[in-house]
């Protein structure tokens, strides 16, 4: 029987059935896109800074956001700004703070203001600077965090990561981690909408810490995106190319030396190691398997055009994404995560290019370097860890302290304390290696990474003399 024309037309007009989710978040439903229904935040909203929301009020995140007004627009579209920090959730004011902290984030915030970490070891702060009228010199980071939302969200993301390193517990702060990651992205998006504020130190710190945490958790794609964004912010901040500081020149020099010789030669210097040192592995990652070439980031990419760095990076494809940073579980080994953490700092400082960089982010880096130095010191004395490599490391750490741009007397005091500690370590290494002249010091540096025409030699010599010539 031949089907009538009317029946064929009617069948063609019928919509094809397809299975669709009834449990997607409000934002995905509004935009008519497929939601992966991940909770407490779906992938689309987490990546784009949207205010994800589910009909299921039992979701863990609703306790944080109950009563909030959901954003109806993708923050990247039109001129709509993300909800500001103070409007994102109902909170009780936390004692002494100009900010309001969600209830479920309070334990994380309390951990941040009372504890810091050396490798995986929690170290109590000497006083609770949050309520002290005369805070100790180790607590300036708390005061900076309370001065700007970018600093605050970044500090709490860093604290979450270090808590996971220390305890192996990836669940306790999983919701605060997602919350502060989302808020950091929102804050940056708000600043990007206002070119006058995008160069604020808090904005740069937020982008930098997002990149650091993503890299530590193995999300190479997200890290690359943040590095590209940081390069764009730097172009807005300073149209003139700034000269590289000593820290950046040391990073590039080490990368050239490592890239120019077989890997086994580099590893051979530490073949008797009984303790892992993340900085050496980080340099290997940057030199041999980089997200982006540090030489490109440093402006020595043989590109004669005036093309901005952010556009150069946008055309390059990083290595495939290695993990999902929307969760902090499961961590790879602590040492692997820390080496990615440190290597990301190398990229950041070469992009920033300046002689001095804000001490808020730099201090996390210096502390982790010093933790490695202290963990390997006893083995260095016993010659179970390369003494030359240990000397190179403390010289590099001293360079990092010279790059800090302090904004208060408290920060200046803190950085001077860190600098003095590194100078003391340089003196120890020089005595162990019987180094009495700068030429002897260069001979030891050359065993790991040194160039005879290095344009930072005079600055390094001044550091070594400051450490050793007064004894």
How crowded is residue 20: how many other Cβ atoms within 10 Å of its Cβ?
7
* Mean pLDDT (the chain, rounded): 74
Burial degree of 241 (CB within 10 A; 0-12, 13-18, 19+): exposed
From residue 39, alpha-carbon distances to 27, 52, 169, 174, 272 in Å are 13, 9, 19, 11, 46
- Please tell me the distance from the alpha carbon of residue 166 to that of residue 119, in angstroms, as a whole number: 8
Stated as kind and residue range, the H or E segment containing 60 is none
What single string gives the DSSP state of each residue in 374-409? HHHHHHHHTTSS-HHHHHHHHHHHHHHHHTEE--SH
Residue 346: name the closest of 442, 278, 444, 251 by CA: 251
Determine the pLDDT at residue 221: 85
List 117's β-bridge partners, or say none.
122
Residue 231, pLDDT > 70, answer yes
Of the two residues 74 and 189, the one the predictor is more confident about is 189
Peptide bond into 330 cis (omega under 30): yes
Model confidence at 344, in pLDDT bands (50, 70, 90)? Answer: very high
What single string gives the DSSP state of each residue in 423-456? HHHHHHHHHHTT--SHHHHHHHHTTTS--TT-TT
Residue 108, pLDDT > 70, answer yes
CB-hemisphere CA count at 13 Å for 426? Answer: 31
Determine the pLDDT at residue 324: 44
Q: Which two tokens stand for residue 111?
A: 């951990």
Domain spans, the chain = 21-67, 245-468
- Please tell me the distance from the alpha carbon of residue 261 to that of residue 294, in angstroms, as a whole number: 17
Determine the pLDDT at residue 145: 85
Q: Which two tokens stand for residue 437?
A: 């002249």
Helices 334-352 + 246-259 axis angle, to 10: 120
Percent of the chain with pLDDT over 70: 66
Determine the pLDDT at residue 60: 36
CATH code of the region 21-67: 4.10.240.10
- Please tell me the distance from the alpha carbon of residue 358 to that of residue 206, in angstroms, as a whole number: 12
Q: Which two tokens stand for residue 17?
A: 């059935």
How crowded is residue 91: how many other Cβ atoms within 10 Å of its Cβ?
16
Number of helices and strands (H, E) in the chain? 21, 6
Determine the pLDDT at residue 314: 67
């Amino acid at each position: 029987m031949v089907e009538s024309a009317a029946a064929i037309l009617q069948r063609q007009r019928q919509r094809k059935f397809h299975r669709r989710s009834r449990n997607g978040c409000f934002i995905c439903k509004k935009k008519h896109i497929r939601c992966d229904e991940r909770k407490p935040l779906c992938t689309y909203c987490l990546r784009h800074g949207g205010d994800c929301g589910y009909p299921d009020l039992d979701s863990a995140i609703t306790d944080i956001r109950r009563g909030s007004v959901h954003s109806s627009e993708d923050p990247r579209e039109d001129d709509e700004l993300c909800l500001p920090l103070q409007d994102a959730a109902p909170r009780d004011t936390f004692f002494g703070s100009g900010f309001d902290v969600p209830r479920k984030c309070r334990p994380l915030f309390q951990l941040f203001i009372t504890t810091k970490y050396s490798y995986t070891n929690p170290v109590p702060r000497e006083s609770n600077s949050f309520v002290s009228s005369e805070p100790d010199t180790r607590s300036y980071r708390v005061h900076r965090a309370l001065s700007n939302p970018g600093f605050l969200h970044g500090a709490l993301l860093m604290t979450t990561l270090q808590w996971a390193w220390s305890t192996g517990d990836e669940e306790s702060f999983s919701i605060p981690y997602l919350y502060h990651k989302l808020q950091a992205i929102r804050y940056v998006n708000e600043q990007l909408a206002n070119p006058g504020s995008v160069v604020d130190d808090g904005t740069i710190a937020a982008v930098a810490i997002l990149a650091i945490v993503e890299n530590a958790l193995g999300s190479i794609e997200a890290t690359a995106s943040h590095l590209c964004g940081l390069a764009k912010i730097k172009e807005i901040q300073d149209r003139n190319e700034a000269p590289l500081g000593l820290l950046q020149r040391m990073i590039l020099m080490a990368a050239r030396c490592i890239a120019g010789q077989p890997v086994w030669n580099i590893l051979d210097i530490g073949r008797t190691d009984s303790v892992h040192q993340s900085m050496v592995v980080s340099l290997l990652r940057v030199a041999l398997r980089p997200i982006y070439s540090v030489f490109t980031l440093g402006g020595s990419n043989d590109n004669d055009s005036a093309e901005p760095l952010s556009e150069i990076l946008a055309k390059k494809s990083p290595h495939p994404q290695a993990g999902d940073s929307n969760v902090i579980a499961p961590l790879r080994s602590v040492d692997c995560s820390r080496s990615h953490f440190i290597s990301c700092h190398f990229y950041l400082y070469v992009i920033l290019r300046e002689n001095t960089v804000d001490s808020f982010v730099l201090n996390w880096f210096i502390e982790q370097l010093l933790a490695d130095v202290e963990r390997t010191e006893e083995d260095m004395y016993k010659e179970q860890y390369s003494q030359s490599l240990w000397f190179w490391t403390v010289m590099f750490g001293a360079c990092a302290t010279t790059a800090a741009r302090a904004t208060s007397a408290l920060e200046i005091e803190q950085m001077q304390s860190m600098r003095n500690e590194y100078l003391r370590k340089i003196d120890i290494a020089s005595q162990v290696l019987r180094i009495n002249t700068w030429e002897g010091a260069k001979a030891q540096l050359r065993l790991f990474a040194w160039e005879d025409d290095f344009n930072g030699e005079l600055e390094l010599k001044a550091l070594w003399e400051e450490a050793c010539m007064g004894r």
